[in-house]
Amino acid sequence: DIQMTQSPSSLSASVGDRVTITCRASQSISSYLNWYQQKPGKAPKLLIYAASSLQSGVPSRFSGSGSGTEFTLTISSLQPEDFATYYCQQSYSAYTFGQGTKLEIK
C-alpha cells in the first residue's frame, strides 16, 4: 500500500494569512494526487486534482503543486470559510488518503 503523510496535523492561522500544507507519498506517484476540504458534519469537497488542476468553482486562492513524492496545497489568503480539515489522496495505486490537516482560527 502507498502511505500518505500530511504535515502539519493541525495548524492555527488568521484570516488573510498564506498557508501551506504538505503531503508526502511513500513512493513516487507522479501527479496522481488530489486535495479535498471537509467541514464538520459535511462530505468532503474536491479542491485540486492531478496535483495542480483547480476543480471548477473552487476559488483561485487555492493552488496545488508537486510531483513524485512531495506535494503542497497553498491557500494564498485565508478566508473565514476556509477553516476546515484538508486531506490529500493518491490515486496512483488504488486510493489512500492522508491523515488530514485541521486548519483552525488563531
Partner 1 sequence: EVQLVQSGAEVKKTGESLRISCKGSGYTFTRSKISWVRQMPGKGLEWIGRIDPSDYNSNYSPSLQGHGTISVDKSIDTAYLQWSSLEASDSATYYCARHNAYYYDTDGYYDYFDRWGQGTLVTVSS
Q: What would the x/- binding string for partner 1 be over residues 24 to 63, using CB under 8 A?
A: -------xx-x-x-x----xxxx--xx--x-x--------
Three cell numbers at 44? 468532503
Question: CB of residue 14 vs partner 1: minimum separation in angstroms?
Answer: 25
Measured between alpha carbons, how far is 4 from 73 in angstroms, rounded to an integer?
A: 14
Query: For residue 15, how many C-alpha atoms fall within 13 Å in the half-sphere facing its CB?
Result: 3
Measured between alpha carbons, how far is 89 from 45 in angstroms, rounded to an integer?
A: 12
Q: Closer to partner 1 at the Cβ: 30 or 77?
A: 30
| Interacting residues with partner 1 (CB under 8 A) | 1, 31-32, 34, 36, 38, 43-46, 49-50, 53, 55, 87, 89, 91, 94-100
